[in-house]
Homo-oligomer: A and B are copies of this chain.
């Protein structure tokens, strides 16, 4: 049976960065949120085995683990370190029961301006990691980031690039993340969501708004749904039309939201989700 919209809601731990994992678990139970999207730092704070146990005991799903990637290094040493860290992330996702490991490609090495070569290294590193990920039952969920992050965080900026990189691998091994903040500007994103659906590659649908003015550093410009400029009906209809029936993670980096009471934030999040996202799932 198709899960209900409420059964598909996932709280990404970044939205309540002010909480420990234990606190986020308790909050999810209290407010009836059935899944968490996990960042590795929150898992590390309590330890992997303990984190997996807490989720299991609470009956919460881990919708994804964030993040692997950052593997655009040029030097042999840098490549080795990135691969080792990504294998650890795959181990962690498997232990937590997270089916998807979010992969953020990484930016340009210091002083390097060659985006084409960096993108080729992303393809190479995906190739290196896929067998290990498949062995561990974890899918690599490649996330294109907004082009404002191309130099420092992700040389993969569009769903089309992500799908082209994924196409070298089986759909069960490499998928893509559709994050409204990162794709809403892109005139090609809707047809690419269709394509991702046809190819069975939508790993995750992440929602948050695009706030203005852009804050210094741009990272914390993500906003609560409804506070910014994203048309959630359009994007949610698109992933639904593409056949996506998985979790919908709310992942917000926002200094103001982090300074507020987390219960109020998650109550507001549920309300905005019910109003702006759920009708189109």
Contact = CB atoms under 8 A, between A and B. Distances in A.
Contact of A187 (B108, B158, B187, B234): B158
A146 B214 CA distance: 13
B214 A217 contact: yes
Interface string A77-105: 00000000000000000000000000000
Contact of A161 (B115, B146, B187, B228): B187
A114 B147 contact: no
Given A158-B187, A185-B157, A187-B161, A214 B113 contact: no
A115 B216 contact: no
B147 A148 contact: yes
Interface string A228-272: 111100100000000000000000000000000000000000000
A160 B158 CA distance: 14
Interface in A113-169: 113-116, 119, 146-148, 150-152, 157-158, 160-161
A21 B229 CA distance: 37
Contacts of A215: 216
A213 interface: yes
A212 interface: yes
Contact of A229 (B108, B119, B234): B108
A148 B146 contact: yes
A157 B229 CA distance: 15
How many copies of this protein are present in the complex?
A: 2
A31 interface: no
Interface SS majority for chain A: loop
Contacts of A146: 147-148
B157 A212 contact: no
Nearest to A161: B187
Interface in A58-86: none
Nearest to A107: B229
Contacts of A216: 213-216
A218 interface: yes
Interface in A185-217: 185-187, 210, 212-217
Given A158-B187, A216-B214, A113 B230 contact: yes
A243 to B, nearest CB: 22
A210 to B, nearest CB: 6
A155 to B, nearest CB: 9
9 contacts: A113-B229, A115-B187, A115-B231, A151-B210, A151-B228, A152-B212, A157-B186, A158-B187, A215-B216
